Structure 1
Amino acid sequence: MSAAYELAQVNIGRMRAPLDSPVMKDFMDGLAEVNAAADAHEGFVWRLADGEGEGATAFRFWGDEWLIVNMSVWEDPETFRAYVYGAVHRPYLQRRREWFEHLKEAITALWWVPAGERPTVQDAEKRLTMLREKGPTADAFTMKALFPKPEA
């Protein structure tokens, strides 16, 4: 039996330099490995990807050419957390300040979507805006302030 809801997530980053610059080289060189690890991870359902299979490279957020976006859907917060802090992704997470500016506003939002629904970049923009304006709610929340799945 499949779950009635799945966990959608968005995270954004303001690049310190263009994607093809030396500053971003290690990030870009590791993207395929990080995405492959997500794709193979228990609980992974879907991720936003451009025509070449690399998420975060072809999509801009809020019309800003320096903001890139990563979106994915997971079965639950536990499997998502295990991936984020797992052996492949964690080293890149620890180096994020080399590639991305520190933003004071929220850069990650989570929300529940009906199983099989795939969020759009516009959906993610709306959810992150809600989180920034209202704080964690059932409509947009964080790993530190999780909200339970809606009742089926």
Structure 2
Amino acid sequence: MPRLALYTFGVLKSPLADRAPLTRDFYDMGEAVYPKISQHPGYLAHAEAAGGDRGVLFEADWDVWGEFAVPAWYGKGRTAETTALAATLSLWTDLRSAFDAVYTGPHREALNRRYDWFERTGHPSHVFWWVSDGVIPTWQDGVSRLEHLRDHGSAPHAFTFHHSFAPDGTPARIEGIGPQSDQVR
């Protein structure tokens, strides 16, 4: 059975290593969000660095998730002191589960504050695609799909919540959002 991969990417206003209150607030919120997300129905797994160090993304061992990668438009630092980004890579059973996890509870609260922490880049901040059972998406897969989405718009290869597709490539819809088509529940 196909599984849904989700890659998110945002450019932070300040480096992860910054000790300013706003950065600490971002971390504190994240520490509340991630445990809730991982308990959400439909959640399967997410990329975690072997060491779990904050701000150590490029040097980390990501095991089966591959080498850490970022979109071409990211122009800030790549060291533990200068990295100014937040990225996630996760697997879900379906669109509805991912939607509910993102737009409810603590993650919804974090989304409401995203412009406190993230720059408005004009680039997409998330992308979905379907993977075969047993396939673990890599960071590079996520970057490639996000860049494809930016360059070509939503398609079965790379899509968003608002313009989504079923595993067979047909347009899909999460009830309550996106263009009218078949509903995904």
TM-score (norm 2): 0.73
> 1:68 Cα shift?
2.9
Do structure 1's residue 51 and structure 2's residue 50 form an aligned pair?
yes
Hey, what does 2:141 align to over in structure 1? 123
Hey, what does 1:61 align to over in structure 2? 70
Query: AA paired with 1:122?
Result: Q
Aligned structure 1 segments of 4 or more residues deviating by more than 6 angstroms: none
Hey, what does 2:153 align to over in structure 1? 135
> 1:6 Cα shift?
0.8
Which string of whole-angstrom CA distances, capped at 9 and with x for unpartnered residues, describes residues 95-130 of structure 1? Answer: 011111012121211100112211111001110111
Residues matched between the structures, number? 148
> SS at 2:27's partner residue?
helix
> SS at 2:98's partner residue?
helix
- Structure 1: how far apart are the matches of 2:139 and 2:154? 19
Hey, what does 1:15 align to over in structure 2? 12
Query: AA paired with 1:33?
Result: A
> 1:70 Cα shift?
1.0
> 1:54 Cα shift?
7.1
- Structure 2: how far apart are the matches of 1:67 and 1:60? 11
Query: 8 Å contact 1:57–1:68 — kept in the other structure?
Result: no
Hey, what does 1:33 align to over in structure 2? 32
- Structure 1: how far apart are the matches of 2:47 and 2:163? 24
- Structure 1: how far apart are the matches of 2:138 and 2:106? 26
Structure 1 residues 143 and 56: CA distance shift in structure 2, 3 A = farther
Q: Which of structures 1 and 2 has the bigger CA Rg?
A: 2
- Structure 1: how far apart are the matches of 2:141 and 2:41? 25
- Structure 2: how far apart are the matches of 1:56 and 1:32? 14
Do structure 1's residue 87 and structure 2's residue 105 form an aligned pair?
yes
Unaligned runs of 5+ residues in structure 1 are none
Hey, what does 1:144 align to over in structure 2? 162
Query: 8 Å contact 1:38–1:44 — kept in the other structure?
Result: yes
Q: Percentage identity across aligned positions?
A: 30
Query: AA paired with 1:62?
Result: P
> SS at 1:89's partner residue?
helix
Unaligned runs of 5+ residues in structure 2 are 58-67, 78-83, 170-185
Structure 1 residues 54 and 117: CA distance shift in structure 2, 3 A = farther
State the superposition RMSD in angstroms: 2.0
